[in-house]
Amino acid sequence: MIRDRKKEALVAFILILPFLSIYSLIFVYPTIDMFLLSFTDAPLIGKGEWVGLENYTRLPNDRRFDTAFWNTAYFVLLSVIPGTFVALAIALGISRLQGRLQAIVLALFFLPYILPVSVVYRLWDWTLNFQFGIAMHLFDLMGIDRVPIFKVTGWFMPAVAMVTVWWTSGFSILLFLAGLRSIPNEIYEAASLDNTNRWTLFRRITWPLLWPVTALVLTIQLILQLKIFDQVYLFSVGGRPNDNLVMVYYIYQRAFVSNDGGRAAAIAIVLFIIVIIVSVLNFQLMRFAEKRS
Amino acid sequence: MTSGRLQKLNLFGGIITVVTLLCAIIWAFPIYWGIVSSLKPEDEVVRPYIELWPETLTFDHYWFALTETQIGRWYINSIVTALGVTVLTVSTSMFAGYAISQLRFPFRRTLYWLILASFMVPTQVLIINHFVLVANMGLLNSWAGIILPQLIHPVVIIVYKQFFDQVPKDFREAAAMDNASEFGTLFKVYMPMNWGVTTALAIVSFIWSWNAFLWPFLAVTKNEMMTITVGITQVSDAFGVYYARQLAAAVLAGFPVAFAYLLFQRRVTTAITLSAGIKG
């Protein structure tokens, strides 16, 4: 077949143009702009003086940055690993079911994922309400003293992490189910002939064959939770926002509350670099794992 | 295998099934509890004991939310912006995905790698500069301002590219024989063959955009321009500390997406699995 190269390139260019212009406007340009902004003392809107690395050098002594950094790390730890294993357990349970029942049970577990964060916030704020929350009745029954969960610093992050696991597990469950479906039945049949018990079956077959999916879920969750803001912000209203700061929250606070565009951009760059390093490490790790298997 | 062992296995399997079902019910319980509470009169909601069903069923809180607050206006804002994001994301991604998959042009690989690389960049860190950009364009508190920064979904292009790659070359050659133009081939061959993907991606884009919080929260300061996801948490004086009212508003905000999911379950789950790079 004869292809008219010039015409083909022109058509391609026309097709790509809408995407490329949007991409440049809201992605390439803001990214460059953010780097430049981080070296100035500009307010959110308006010009500022060039201050070199000052916005960065003051971060190590910034107590709020410290809080935001460690809270983010703590939150990642509390949500990513438990979330992945909860989702795996649920997926194993669902994969045993069949037909209609399976569809219904999957829908029950998946429904929270589809809800907006503000609805999730309302539901859990109500469920864990200090005075009238149904969970507090359970606390009473078990003889635990009631706690205003989202107002107490020690309870805040674990509670928000739990709500986040509840909210986002649906996604991981789907990935695990797809992974479980791709394990051929013959392998299990062959193994069951040897009288292997369930635990051995899981440890020797399911877990290793599912490992690529587990790694993917961990990666996606990790990168997602580094960027947490919505839940922390919403649950902090009326509580202690400064104790609950996470990275994006601090960016928001610096930029939109304190009107410090330059300093906010420096924090954004730090988070930007963390996310990129984690992504690249993950990518290399996955490639390494693929080569080994 | 002895029959004793088989029975033990079945018993064990039965227990796991029952546990799974129980967990599913407990898992979804907060949703049920929120809905039930929103159907109780305010004095029943704050009773110091648990009632799993309202004594007096009332729709007053829904009536209040729909008539006394700006929720109707927020619905319109959410629908318009979510549709805008969906149409623009899906169409621009389909065009770009087609070009990358089917056409030869300079810097094709560079472009593809750029799109892949942009997966890594967290859009949350761009909020400051998105705000500056949208403010300078005079688009704060407008539908266009809410839509614009939400249009970065590189994954949609990748999914389209993968699906277009799989269309057999014969179709292309047949279209070329008929003297169809490139646009004709896309619209008459490639698009109809992939309607399933398009609808799935469209539904998911709509849900993503409806649920977006951070950007719409920053881009809008006027009550009447808020999307419903932001509005129900920001305008507290509209609801006061009336728990049932707040919950009714939350149910109204979650209903469209929950309904869309229940209606198109398979498409939604397929599209979400695809978005993680797994063929479902």
Cβ neighbours of B11 in A, within 8 Å: none
Of the pLDDT bands very low, low, confident and very high (cuts 50, 70, 90), residue A73 is very high
Same domain, B79 and B133: yes
Per-residue pLDDT, averaged over B248-257, amounts to 95
CB B182 within 8 A of CB B103: yes
Among A126, A235, A247, the strongest candidate for a mutation testing the B interface, having the largest count of B CBs within 10 A, is A126
pLDDT of the residue at A293: 57
User: What confidence tens digit (pLDDT) does each residue in A31-68 have?
Assistant: 999 999 999 999 999 888 999 999 999 999 999 999 99
Confirm or reject contact between B257 and chain A (CB < 8 A). yes
CB A55 within 8 A of CB A134: no
pLDDT of the residue at B88: 97
CA angle B117, B119, B122 (to 5 degrees): 115
Give the distance from residue B13's alpha carbon to the nearest chain A alpha carbon, in angstroms.
Answer: 9
Q: How many domains does chain B have?
A: 2
Q: Do B262 and A234 touch (CB under 8 A)?
A: no
The residue with tokens 């004991």 is B49
Cβ neighbours of B254 in A, within 8 Å: 115-116, 119
Segments forming the whole domain that contains residue B225: 62-275
CB A106 within 8 A of CB A94: yes
| pTM exceeds 0.90 | yes
Q: What is the dihedral of CA B252, B255, B257, B261, to 10 degrees?
A: 180
CB B260 within 8 A of CB B211: no
Q: Is residue B255 part of a domain?
A: yes
pLDDT of the residue at B187: 87
Q: How far apart are CA A238 and CA A275, in angstroms?
A: 30
Closest by CA to B127, choosing from B158, B152, B157, is B152
DSSP per position, B90-133? HHHHHHHHHHHHH---TTHHHHHHHHHHHTSS-GGGGHHHHHHH
Per-residue pLDDT, averaged over A210-223, amounts to 90
Q: Which residues contact B216 (CB under 8 A, 6 or more apart)?
A: B81, B146, B226, B227, B229, B230
Q: How far apart are CA B82 and CA A221, in angstroms?
A: 25
**3-class state of residue A50 by DSSP:** strand
User: What confidence tens digit (pLDDT) does each residue in A88-144 have?
Assistant: 999 999 998 988 999 999 999 999 999 999 999 999 999 998 888 888 888 888 888
| The pair of three-digit structure tokens given for residue A160, joined into one six-digit string | 């928000």
Give the distance from residue B2's alpha carbon to the nearest chain A alpha carbon, in angstroms.
Answer: 10
Q: Is residue B102 part of a domain?
A: yes
Q: How far apart are CA A146 and CA A156, in angstroms?
A: 14
Contact map slice: B 216-245 vs A, CB within 8 A: 218, 228-230, 232-233, 243
- Average per-residue pLDDT for chain A: 90
Which candidate from B31, B95, B173 shows the least CB-CB separation from A15?
B95
Q: Is residue B15 part of a domain?
A: yes
Give the CATH number of the domain where residue B240 resides. 1.10.3720.10
Q: Is residue B84 part of a domain?
A: yes
Q: How far apart are CA B100 and CA A245, in angstroms?
A: 42
Cβ neighbours of A19 in B, within 8 Å: 92-93, 95-96, 157
User: What confidence tens digit (pLDDT) does each residue in B71-85 have?
Assistant: 999 999 999 999 999
Write out the H or E segment, with its range, that includes residue B215. helix B214-219
Same domain, B238 and B124: yes
Same domain, B43 and B67: no
Same domain, B243 and B104: yes
- pLDDT at position A76 over 50: yes
- pLDDT at position A188 over 90: no
**Lowest model confidence (mean pLDDT) among A81-85, B90-94, B189-193:** B189-193
Same domain, B153 and B103: yes
Residue predicted with more confidence, B90 or A140: B90
- pLDDT at position A87 over 80: yes
Q: Do A108 and B213 touch (CB under 8 A)?
A: no
Of the pLDDT bands very low, low, confident and very high (cuts 50, 70, 90), residue B9 is low
The residue with tokens 């986002």 is A168
CB B14 within 8 A of CB B29: no
The sign of the dihedral angle between the CA atoms of A265, A266, A269, A271 is negative
Q: How far apart are CA B203 and CA B264, in angstroms?
A: 8
- pLDDT at position B239 over 50: yes
Which candidate from A31, A109, A171 shows the least CB-CB separation from B272?
A171
Cβ neighbours of B133 in A, within 8 Å: 25-26, 29-30, 33
Q: Which domains does chain A have, with CATH numbers?
A: 39-292 (1.10.3720.10)
- pLDDT at position B280 over 50: no
pLDDT of the residue at A191: 75
Q: How far apart are CA A199 and CA A192, in angstroms?
A: 12
- Beta-carbon count within 10 A of A128 CB: 22
Name the burial class of residue A284, with classes exposed (0-12), middle (13-18) and buried (19+) by CB atoms within 10 angstroms of its CB: exposed
Q: How far apart are CA B43 and CA B142, in angstroms?
A: 39
Q: Is residue B280 part of a domain?
A: no
Contact map slice: A 188-207 vs B, CB within 8 A: 195, 198
Q: How far apart are CA B129 and CA B131, in angstroms?
A: 5
Q: What is the DSSP letter of B157?
A: H
Does the interface predicted TM-score (ipTM) exceed 0.90? Answer: yes
Q: What is the dihedral of CA B1, B4, B6, B9, to 10 degrees?
A: -130
Same domain, B72 and B33: no
Q: Do B105 and A9 touch (CB under 8 A)?
A: yes
- pLDDT at position A190 over 80: no
- Average per-residue pLDDT for chain B: 89
Q: Do B20 and A93 touch (CB under 8 A)?
A: yes
